[in-house]
Amino acid sequence: MPVINFHGLGIKITCDFGETIFEVAMKNSIPLAESCGGEKVCGHCRITVIHGIENLSEPEPDERKLMAEKRFSENERLACSTRIYGDVKITTSYW
């Protein structure tokens, strides 16, 4: 099962294959900015991938659109849109 390393918080969580980062964060009371409840609208759940970006789902069209509007870097993703298929290390600007 994949492990998410929430770098900066010192927390590693084993999750289900295909869960979103947002789902894992909410279930485990990880502080994650959001104002749309994970509906891929607000862009506040932006996370930076430190390692393991190849273990994440490819951005879907709605995520790509928001990433372009919000000027995401190549290693930034929406936590609510990103599914986990292997180990990953992520962070945010506020952890």
Residue ranges binding ligand FES (CB under 6 A): 34, 36, 38, 40-45, 78-80
Smallest distance, ligand FES to C-beta of residue 87, A: 22
Nearer to ligand FES (CB atom), residue 2 or residue 43: 43
State the Cα–Cα distance between residues 87 and 61, nearest whole angstrom: 24
Question: Can you give the three-state secondary structure of 12-57, one letter per residue?
Answer: EEECCCCCEHHHHHHHCCCCCCCCCCCCCCCCCCEEEEEECHHHEC
Nearer to ligand FES (CB atom), residue 15 or residue 25: 25
Nearer to ligand FES (CB atom), residue 1 or residue 36: 36
Reduce the DSSP state of residue 9 to 3 states and report it.
coil
Smallest distance, ligand FES to C-beta of residue 7, A: 19
